[in-house]
């Protein structure tokens, strides 16, 4: 069983017009999204360590949507209730959760130090350290993920690290 994405009208328009809004890597992923292939199928076709993140960006920007769920070679329509976007942050509680905030901040700082190094990510580390709430950390999420993916060792662990951070951020 796996999620199947399909291009939206905006995605088809981007394929025809090539507006330049997408990076070559993101555009390549969009090309392979056809409403029949699961995320696992795409992973085997596209050489992208950050496939989950790229699909999330395409979904959030309205280029793709969940087209269905693959089961035993057939694609069933997507459930009536909308699925969460693949890169979605969890819902924040009404009150600031200081423990989860500190966990997220420490996780981001420690993984950057471990995989990128303090010198290579000084400005990002400073911005993370200066964030005062979850929205502030979430604003640094894309830069954090990109830094992890661009590091040699982080590239292998990026999806696992991303999932762990999304649990607390």
Spatial separation of the C-alpha atoms in residues 54 and 73, rounded to whole Å: 24
Q: Where are the beta strands (DSSP E) in 40-118?
A: 64-71, 74-77
Task: With a cut of 80, say whether residue 62 has pLDDT above it.
Answer: yes
Structural domain that includes position 51: 2-77
0.75 surpassed by pTM: no
Could you give the number of structural domains in the chain?
Answer: 2
- Taking each helix axis from N to C end, the angle separating 152-168 and 51-60, rounded to the nearest 10 degrees, works out to 50
Task: With a cut of 70, say whether residue 83 has pLDDT above it.
Answer: no
Contact indicator for 38, 6 with CB cutoff of 8 Å: no
71 shares its domain with 6: yes
- Render pLDDT for 4-25 as a digit per residue (tens, 0 to 9): 899 999 999 999 998 888 988 8
Domain boundary pick from 77, 112, 132: 77
pLDDT of res. 78:
63
Q: Is residue 88 part of a domain?
A: no
104 shares its domain with 150: yes
Contact indicator for 133, 140 with CB cutoff of 8 Å: no
- Render pLDDT for 40-61 as a digit per residue (tens, 0 to 9): 888 888 876 678 888 888 988 8
Distance of CA 103 to the CA centre of its chain: 20
pLDDT of res. 13:
93
108 shares its domain with 163: yes
């Amino acid at each position: 069983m796996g999620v199947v994405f399909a291009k939206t009208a905006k995605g088809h328009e981007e394929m025809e017009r090539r507006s330049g809004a997408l990076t070559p890597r993101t555009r390549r992923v969009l090309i392979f999204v056809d409403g029949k292939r699961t995320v696992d199928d795409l992973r085997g076709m596209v050489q992208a360590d950050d496939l989950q993140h790229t699909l999330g960006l395409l979904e959030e920007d309205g280029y793709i949507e969940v087209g269905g769920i693959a089961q035993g070679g057939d694609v069933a329509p997507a459930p009536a209730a909308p699925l969460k976007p693949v890169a979605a942050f969890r819902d924040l509680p009404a009150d600031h959760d200081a423990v989860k905030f500190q966990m997220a901040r420490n996780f981001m700082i420690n993984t950057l130090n471990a995989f990128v190094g303090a010198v290579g990510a000084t400005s990002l580390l400073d911005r993370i350290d200066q964030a005062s709430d979850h929205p502030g950390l979430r604003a640094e999420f894309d830069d954090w993920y990109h830094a992890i993916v661009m590091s040699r060792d982080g590239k292998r662990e990026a999806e696992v690290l991303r999932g762990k951070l999304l649990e607390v951020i």
